[in-house]
Chain A
């Protein structure tokens, strides 16, 4: 549906977007994730032809988008964008929603029927005659979505649509996005810095960091096989430390990291330089005298608690195991049962399958 080739944008001598190559398929929800300022908005604005790229091209539905003004307008009219900041015109809700139809030359009573049906869809049925500027942020954003979809766009671009909203409104908008995708088969490109939202909404994910598309793929690819340390820590995997693959026996590697030898599932051959990463929720903490369970391959490390970070019902515990710091996520209850405090000795049990081995570049 959209083919992006070597797309770049520079402002002065600063590179905001650096040679992005990406293909977005018809009917999918593609989510761009990445930290604030990484270039997600820039990419969406380029896709919507609001800004001009300094290099590369965008092909929409087989047609290049860098032609005449008329061609640009025609391409833009196949798309619609919803911006991060909820924006409405200072008029009634109905007038706001109809504006895209008016631009396309539609007149008459057909408009109000269409307005009513999208208002029903976004759950604001009785709002047609209200003044749009008096609505709440969440309502305004739903108006913005209604205004975008009334023109039946083939591509809907959403730039952090829930970033300025409370969790309840954000969840409502997420439901709405899924529903639009299902009902109209609209191709949706959405940006977010919220990984969980990205995971919930996306068919596929692209990770943007410092203006580069560092990884694109299905959800498990991103969350379980991050391509590098930065992506790993962005998707919630803690890098532990670097090491060298000492042996690899049919996919079960032994990696020497500092003074420790860690077993991990990997296809990296002997001698590879790698970084070990782990999700804190995959680490089990036990009393130091607890025997290492037999069966599947796992690592049993002894360590001292160096730091505790309370996270609502959970606590993140940092354990120093011979110079390797492992983070573990435990419930408040097990924190009490184990009597964890700074300086406690504990054993960390980690399955070999839970250790992510990322090659060093």
Chain B
């Protein structure tokens, strides 16, 4: 019990005194996960649009595969990326292993399926009646697509924010690709794992509090965004993660 109390006291000390190591780790975490989120969004949103607006064989199967990858274990992504970027791997010559850039790549791959899947259902949440209405008002195909994306904007933003949530909270990829190197690839989750193992509970609790704080901010942002969603779009989004 005393251990916990001491840990919490130490944690608040570290945070209040703006301990440089704690904040360096938090900053790196944010840098890596935000970069991965932006990268994943830039790739996922147009891809999702392509899948949604085009009819092709195997579309349903593709969507099911994407949805399956929502729950891909982080260590599996870690393993695959490790094999790709290790010295002897096909992308080994970039020298990405054990670098923050490698971690960004790993997290990007990790969160792309959930972002793509949620953007596809966000676009699908814009009903047939809205599409008919746009066409009847004289929209060209391109104008119609732009208007539908605009109509789904809140749900698309939610997908991006949820992707960020998965990136910032994962350990597997960061540990396997980054290697948890102090001052270089050590981020919030990996250092909690390490420090707890070494018995530095105060440090772990401080990082945990910061991580929860980030989660809180994400939830608040998500709530602000979804307050702009229509009932139908909420259902489309809810249908995916229930």
Contacts and interface: CB of A to CB of B under 8 A. Distances in A.
On whether the two chains bind one another, the answer is: yes
Contact of B139 (A45, A48, A80, A103): A103
Given A89-B147, A133-B230, A103 B140 contact: yes
A35 B147 CA distance: 35
Given A103-B140, A133-B230, A87 B135 contact: no
Interface stretch (B43-51, B125-133, B170-178): B125-133
Contacts of B137: 80, 99-100, 103, 147-148, 151
Contacts of B127: 87
The secondary structure that dominates the A interface is: mixed
Interface in A79-95: 79-81, 83, 85, 87, 89-91
Interface in A52-94: 73, 76-77, 79-81, 83, 85, 87, 89-91
Contacts of A171: none
A50 interface: yes
B151 A100 contact: no
B230 A73 contact: no
A50 B135 contact: yes
Nearest to B229: A90
Q: Which of A81, A90, A147 has the most CB of B within 10 A?
A: A90
A361 interface: no
Given A99-B147, A103-B143, A133-B230, A89 B130 contact: yes
Nearest to A100: B137
A100 B138 contact: yes
A155 B23 CA distance: 65
Interface in A7-38: none
Given A90-B151, A90-B230, A133-B230, A73 B138 contact: yes
A231 to B, nearest CB: 30
B136 A103 contact: no
B138 A50 contact: no
Interface in B90-149: 127, 129-130, 132-140, 143, 147
Interface size bucket, B side? 20 to 34
A358 B216 CA distance: 75
Nearest to A84: B129
A144 B143 CA distance: 19
Nearest to B138: A77
A151 B137 CA distance: 8
B169 to A, nearest CB: 30
B228 interface: yes
Interface residues of A, number: 26
Interface in A89-115: 89-91, 99-100, 102-104
B228 A90 contact: yes
Nearest to B135: A50
A51 to B, nearest CB: 10
Contacts of B136: 48, 50, 76, 79-81, 157
Contacts of A91: 150
Given A83-B132, A87-B133, A103 B138 contact: yes
Contacts of A48: 136
A148 B129 CA distance: 15
A133 B231 CA distance: 10
A79 B133 CA distance: 12
A83 B133 contact: yes
A84 to B, nearest CB: 9
A83 B129 contact: yes
Interface string A106-128: 00000000000000000000000
A112 to B, nearest CB: 18
A189 to B, nearest CB: 13
A89 B230 CA distance: 10
B230 A87 contact: no
Given A90-B151, A90-B230, A85 B129 contact: yes
Interface in A137-165: 144, 147-148, 151, 157
Contacts of A99: 134, 137, 147
Q: Which of B133, B134, B140 has the most CB of A within 10 A?
A: B133
Nearest to A102: B143
Contacts of B150: 89, 91
B130 A87 contact: yes
A89 B140 CA distance: 17
Given A50-B135, A99-B134, A87 B140 contact: no
Contacts of B138: 73, 76-77, 100, 103-104, 151
Interface of A: 45, 48, 50, 73, 76-77, 79-81, 83, 85, 87, 89-91, 99-100, 102-104, 133, 144, 147-148, 151, 157
Interface of B: 127, 129-130, 132-140, 143, 147, 150-151, 154, 228-230, 233
14 contacts: A73-B138, A73-B140, A76-B136, A79-B136, A81-B136, A83-B133, A89-B150, A90-B151, A90-B154, A90-B228, A90-B233, A99-B137, A102-B143, A151-B137
Interchain residue pairs A-B with the least CB separation, the first 8? A77-B138, A100-B137, A81-B136, A87-B129, A103-B138, A103-B139, A87-B133, A48-B136
Given A81-B133, A89-B147, A144-B133, 9 more contacts: A48-B136, A73-B140, A76-B138, A77-B138, A83-B129, A91-B150, A99-B134, A103-B137, A151-B138
